Structure 1
Amino acid sequence: MSVSMTLDAADPGVLELLSDPVAMRTWEFVRSANATKTISELVSVTGLEAAELHRQADALLAMNLLRAIRARKPRREVGYRATCDQIVVAFDEHDEEIVSRLFAVGEAVNRDFAAVVERHADPEFHSKAGFRFQMCGTYRLSNEELAELRRRVLAVVSFLNMPRNSGKGGGDRDEVDPGCNQAIQIALEPLVGGLLPTPTITTSPRSKLKLWDGSTADSAGLPALTAREREVSLALADGLSRAQVADRLRVSVHTVSTLARRAYKKLGVTSQAELTARLTGHDREVPGDDQDVE
């Protein structure tokens, strides 16, 4: 299996295939399994009719995203394997028609995302088994803050884009249930005009109000840090050395050490590992969630 397969958006059938989320989910299942899958096996996993899966397989074969494996004992059917881990779509940014069609594909994918999230939302979700996060707002960010946001978002995107395998070596994922368990959406839209920023508003049960005491905690439920202490803490939690943080903030290493010491004291941590766990929320309750529910 190759690392990636490059498709040309102008080639016949490429954008049509990308606009078919069901077919693309079938391909991702075959890819993540890292094994040969037959139509019968796909029927049992997807619940789709065999005729529909044959149609999908033919379209994916035409794009060289799958290859057919001839039947051999004990398998009596033709099987299919993915040819790559990632799909790259190339396009001419000066071709207005192609760009317009790509936007249409994106809109179709967004509609499908909203539909599947609504259809598959977990009504029994509880933070003991994970976390739920949603945030939206309008902000005034400086160029430096925007650059830092972009760096952090790209790090998240890079993590999410890593190929994940559901078969052997797939970590703790349940091989019996290959279904996805998280829906993630990241969006940022540049704005113009005289729109003022929205305030940060937190909702909380009365029993959890102490977590949001404005004198001691910020909007993440953590002890309040100064702007510089926060910058240093986040950078250290990202794995940067104190020298690297000093270079980024254009201050001395001594200043970084002083700010880190203050932040450590406020956060109640003694090491960079504890700091990372504290800031990523791995060591604390989710504010607003009832931890007593079984």
Structure 2
Amino acid sequence: MLEEREGTFMMPRSAQMALIIPGILLFVFLFAMMPVVLHFGPGDGGLQFSWGQGFQSLKAYIAGLGSGESFTYYSGKNLHHFWERIGIYFLTSFYYVTAAGILGSAIGIFIGIYFAISKAGWAKSVADFIGALPDFVIVLLLQFMIVLIAKETGVVLFEVATLSADDPAVVLPLLAMIIIPANYMLRNVSMQMKLTLTEDYISNAKAKGMGKLYIIFYHALPNVLPYVKGDLHKLMGIVMGNLFIVEYLFNNKGVSILIFAHAFVGGEYQYDIVVNGLLSFLILYGLGYGLVRLFLFALGKVFQR
């Protein structure tokens, strides 16, 4: 049933999810078809659509769910089972998504508060400059910096890429994952905090002789956090998009590499592994979103009056 609210009809959340989830799954199935559907035709090389081949891939995937064939893929000439291999890839990506979401939010919130109440113009200029850089440029700059330091001093601070399972790059990709969401968060928090500090109830708190830090953290911050929660899907979108770039450029064995390395094998497109990889990304997104939401809830409880 539809809920009536202020003269309008609101669809219940359960009904919304019943529509959203199939829509997301349909998008994944269709998106994974694109390498099969889109191709250049002979002669003029014009772009052509072969929806029949795409839906044939989808039909084969659905038919193979019962037998388990949809969860097998080739790596070179070797046949692997998705469920046996996804664990380590998923955990690697989960580590970066969780760290980027929670640490990026925490750093962004507290630095954003500092920017809102201080006159650190140079720091704000640096943050604006970083925010204007594409994510892959930030990754390359971090790698270049480590290489330059190693060349000048002979000291390798961090691994610039994962070359083997025994010597993985950890710190540098983690920094790359945190910088962008933290920068996005601090700009939003700084703006909302400045607006909140102009509200009448803040003036009343000052008039009562309350301390500056108490007003900021126990009056202003609880009213800023709802705006942060409202932007959480956008933040997680940034994190997930950044994950593709970071895992690819650092060669970290996450879900992105699982897709990139096995989508095409021997000139053949493996629709099944792409679908399964994208579905794994949806689970990563949901878990990351839930944990960041939990962190913001806990933060709100800490500074609740």
**TM-score, normalization: structure 2?**
0.22
> Greater helix share, 1 or 2?
2
**TM-score, normalization: structure 1?**
0.22
More RCO (CA 8 Å, sep 6+): 2
